[in-house]
Amino acid sequence: VPPELPALATLVAIIANAALALPKQQPGSISARLRDTTRGERHYLFGPPLVMGLLSTHLGVRVLQLLLVETVRGWELGVLVEPAAWLAEFLGEGRRREREREWQQSKSGLLWRYLKGEIGEAELRRRLHRQGHMLPPPPPPTATVASKEEFSIPRLRLDPLRPVGMIPMRPMEVILPEPPAPGGSPRQLKSIPAVPPADGLPVLQIQLLGRIRIVTGGEDLGPQLLHRPVQAFTFLYPLAREVRRPGDQMTRADWGAECFAGQDPEQQRRGVSNRLSHLRRHAPYLGERIISEGEYVSFDGRGCEIDVVRVFEIAQAVKQAGANLSDEQYQAALRAQEQASEEFMPGWDGIVQRAGGGRSGVGEVIAEVRSQLVAARSGILSTLAGVALSRRQLDEAICYLEYAVRARPDRGDLARRLADAYQRDGQLQRAAQLRKEYGLSEGA
Amino acid sequence: MPRADQIRKLATLRQPWIWLLLVVTGSIGLIAATAWSRTDWVYRLATVQEPALAILFGLLAIRIGGLVMRALLVRELPVIAAEEPHLAHTEGALGLRAPRILTLINLEPGSGATTLSFNLAVSLAVLGGKTGSKATAEPIRPACLLAEGRLTAALGLDPPLLNDQVASGGWQMAAGVADLAVHHPSGCALFGFQPGCQAGAAVGPLLAELIRNYDVVVIDGGIAAERQLTSLAQSSDLVLLIGRAAPASVAALQRWTAWSVGPGLGMTYALIVNRLRAGVRLPLELLSALTPLTLLPEEPQVAEQDMTGLPWSLDQRLAASRRLAAVVRQFLGHEGEGDECAA
């Protein structure tokens, strides 16, 4: 053995020890990284292992796999830091999972799940309410204001309404489905029976409450349409008339007079024709819904699922059924009253303004539908209150009646029922106050 | 052979026998290495080097033992696309509480002022009603004014609508502006605005109208043309400068700081460094000009969610979201309350 060999071996061993033991990548930041990793602020001390995949279930093979995967990391971190990194990553993963579980029940998590479509609005409201949070109320519908002006009745001094979440209701299904995945077929909702497709026309699912969505073939045409106010007006105005009165027709002259006031009749007719042809050219799926038969123009509602029409249908069915609601009808009524609280055609005034204006007749159509909605909701709530009273659920009945009276303060009969309900519930002061405001006698 | 779920069951360091096994494995490795180093060949080769060799073998044994432990404690490792940046906790102190008008201005294009404005407003709406573990009855109602772009399209906003209203209304702007809002489920009202148009000059009346209707107004500086930015900044309680770790941001920040020390400009501003990647160092000039309020990492989910109009600030699994929430808590004076989950 050469005499220099031991010394050389010592040198090699010392260098190898240092190379193996010491961290080689940003050693100054390791303690902070370890802290962040343990807290779950980051997944790995540095980067992830180079190969990520399925590990064998056999321990020996798994060790070899890890040896290959972790060699580079082990070299970078050093033998002493590497186990600490593993431990920190393991603890961090646990912390992250724990935090995720908590987040899913937090307000952020619930909203996130709602926006992702994992839970419905009723479920969201119920859970937020349970946690003491409140969703902001929807903007007040214009119809409410109009109807309050119309009905000159004494101003109510009721306590603030309890949130909708307090009304015991099952999760609400949105009437309009989310667009299906590409290639998939549109999801059929339980709450709306299948609408037979019209000849040669695609099925349109139209949401006009809360927001405007027009879904066909899984695509929402609403945003594009609303981006072009003239086209939006040309499509939505006949649609609103159809909703107000099914089968409604208007003459081109009337439409022209509404939209092109101040111009001569020929220009008005030309303007209407231009708008119609413009819509048919740029949005054929929507344009073909506007039927033009000589002088008359109307909306073809065949094969259309329109949420507000559905609400009216439910209101009618509920009214006929009275207190003998089936469970299915009861659920449908709950959903419908919640939908009816949303604004009909939000943003309509802006569309009219940008589309070149319209005279009072245009606004009247919308206001009329909104008033119909208020009446429909009030009717549904009244029936629901009747059902709750027949089941001796006074608390729910009061809740429904309070909403109903708020929606239609002109309805003395509702106020009387609410006062009676207060009385039966032992809220004598409230009952007396309400009777006084409405001039009701106790025995009436 | 153990199944994968059985293996995962082992994945807990709370079991004492795991630690015992680790110690025993390490000790056996060390003893074996020492014994091996005493064999004739090695002994002759390294008579005086025995400690160094023993340490070397010991280190190798620790490595092998560690790998065995790692294999035993195997779990489903989280898959991440790229290395996460190491972000120091450099949160600067904000000498301002509850600003009512916040303007976010890009120091360079693509720094993320629009997405940050939207997410900041959502975060304010979500966290605003909370004080500690108790929820107040009145949540904060923020309004957010966003420059037209992919995000506004994804959110279904109609910027021309507001532009027309603002351009036609001027100081006599009708109270109907608030009706043009798109109400986000989080509770904030969203407005889209076309950048750099003539209506930009009427932003002042618009702000006055919005602040009358909402608790906080968050403005994406992209709505104003370059020449209108300064007046927009002066109308704000707080200007958040959004930059990146790049020379262009440094130059722009230096221009802002030079301008803001001018006479009569009592502007409060702070810096947010956005989209930081691993391995990219923060320019010293950036840090010396202004202590960042926060550093936000680049995360692929953020871009994906912007495309679909989802507010990533709600997704507390993202580091960017947690850091933004910390900033919002600072605005609200809720520092030290920890994240929403912990609260």
pLDDT at A399: 83
- The pLDDT, as a whole number, for residue A340 is 86
Closest CA to B224 of B208, B249, B203: B203
Which residue type, as a one-letter code, is found at position B246?
Answer: A
A75 residue type, one letter: W
- Name the pairing type of β-strands B216-220 and B101-106: parallel
**Three-class SS of residue A207?**
strand
CB contact under 8 A, B48 and A10: yes
Q: Closest to A67 (Cβ–Cβ): which among B67, B125, B139?
A: B67
ipTM of the complex: 0.78
Phi, psi of B189 (to 5 degrees): -100, 130
- Distance (Å, whole) CA A188 – CA A176: 9
Q: Which tokens is B141 given?
A: 């109602």
Alpha carbons A285 and A224: distance in angstroms, whole number? 13
Structural tokens at position A388: 């709750």
- pLDDT (average), residues A162-180: 36
C-alpha span between B130 and A72 (Å, rounded): 46
What pLDDT, on a 0 to 100 scale, did the predictor assign at position A210? 84
pTM beyond 0.80, yes or no: no
- Flag whether residue A5 sits within 8 Å of chain B, measured between CB atoms: yes
Question: Residue B108: is its pLDDT beyond 70?
Answer: yes
* Contact indicator for A23, B32 with CB cutoff of 8 Å: no
Contacts of B69 in chain A (CB under 8 A): 83, 86
Cα–Cα distances in Å, from A65 out to A86, B59, B71?
16, 20, 9
Burial class of A411 by CB neighbour count within 10 A (0 to 12, 13 to 18, 19+): buried
B13 touches A90 (CB < 8 A): yes
Per residue in B129-141, pLDDT (tens digit) is 644 444 444 578 8
Do the beta carbons of residue B333 and residue B97 sit within 8 Å? Answer: yes
Residue A425 three-state SS: helix
Lowest mean pLDDT across A387-396, B79-88, B104-113 = B79-88
Residues A66, B70: C-beta atoms closer than 8 Å: yes
The C-alpha atoms of residue B257 and residue B84 are separated, in whole angstroms, by 30
Residues in chain B, how many? 343
Average pLDDT over residues B281-307: 84
Sequence-distant (6+) residues with CB within 8 A of A125 are A135, A163, A164, A165
Across B172-192, average pLDDT:
76
The better pLDDT of the pair A161, A58 is held by A58
Q: Chain B partners of A131 at a C-beta cutoff of 8 Å?
A: 135
Portion of chain A with pLDDT greater than 90, in percent: 1
Residues of chain A in contact with residue B156, where contact means CB-CB under 8 angstroms, are 211, 222-223, 226
| DSSP sequence for A86-111 | HHHHHHHHHHHHHHHHHHHHSHHHHH
Closest by CA to B316, choosing from A108, A110, A36, is: A108
Provide the strand spans (E) within B65-120. 101-106
Q: Which residue has the higher pLDDT, A218 or A341?
A: A341
Find where tokens 């193996």 sit: A20
Min distance A370 CA to chain B CA atoms (Å): 16
Average confidence score pLDDT of chain B: 74
| Number of other residues whose CB lies within 10 A of the CB of residue A58 | 13
Interchain contact, B88 vs A32, CB within 8 Å: yes
**Residues within 8 A of B (CB atoms), A 29-68 only:** 29, 32-33, 36, 41-44, 46-49, 52, 55, 57-59, 62-63, 66-67
> In the predicted model, is pLDDT for residue A154 greater than 50?
no
pLDDT in tens, B233-256: 878 888 899 999 888 998 888 888
Contact state of A59 with B49 under an 8 Å Cβ cutoff: no
As beta bridge partners, residue B102 has B218, B238
Q: Measured on CA atoms in the order A242, A373, A254, B176, is the torsion positive or negative? A: negative
Q: Is the pLDDT of residue A400 over 60?
A: yes
Are the C-beta atoms of residues A36 and A42 closer than 8 Å to each other? yes
| Cα-based distances in Å from B268 to B96, B228, B238, B256 | 8, 18, 5, 12
CA pair distance A202, A214, nearest whole angstrom: 12
> Residue B182 is encoded by which pair of tokens?
């798109």
Task: Sort out which chain A residues have CB atoms less than 8 A from B11's CB and list them.
Answer: 90
Per DSSP bridges, beta strands A204-207 and A304-306 are parallel
The residue ranges of DSSP E strands in B209-308, in sequence order, are: 216-220, 238-243, 269-276, 292-297
Interface membership of B50 toward A (CB under 8 Å)? no
Q: Given a cut of 60, is residue A173 above it in pLDDT?
A: no
Interhelix angle A107-115/A121-130, nearest 10 degrees: 180
Strand, coil or helix: B336: coil
Any chain A CB within 8 A of the CB of B35?
no
Picking from B64, B276, B232, B184, the residue whose alpha carbon sits closest to that of residue A20 is: B64
Phi and psi at residue A134, to the nearest 5°: -130, 135
Sheet holding A213-216, edge to edge: A219-220, A213-216, A204-207, A304-306
The verdict on a CB contact (< 8 Å) between A47 and B71 is no
Read off the tokens for B333. Answer: 């004076």
Residues 6+ positions from A103 with CB-CB distance below 8 Å: A109, B316, B317, B340, B341
Q: Which of A329-333, B109-113, B173-177 has the highest mean predicted lDDT (pLDDT)? A: B109-113
Q: CB A100 to CB B317 under 8 A?
A: yes
Tell me whether B42 touches chain A (CB under 8 Å).
Answer: no
Confidence of residue A201 (pLDDT cuts 50, 70, 90): low
For residues B94 and B103, give the distance between their C-alpha atoms in angstroms, rounded to a whole number. 15
Cβ <8 Å between B47 and A102: no
Q: Which residues of A180-215 are buried (b: 16+ CB within 10 A; e: fewer)?
A: eeeeeeeeeeebbeebeeeeeeebbbbbbbbbbbbb
Q: What is the pLDDT of residue A165?
A: 37
Q: State which of A95-109, A387-401, B37-51 shows the largest mean pLDDT.
A: A95-109
Mean pLDDT of chain A: 75
Percent pLDDT > 70 in chain B is: 66
Question: Distance (Å) from the C-alpha of residue A12 to the closest C-alpha of chain B?
Answer: 9
Which element (helix H / strand E) includes A215?
strand A213-216
State the best of B86, B168, B216, B294 to mutate against chain A, taking most chain A CBs within 10 Å: B86
C-beta neighbour count of A236 within 10 angstroms: 26
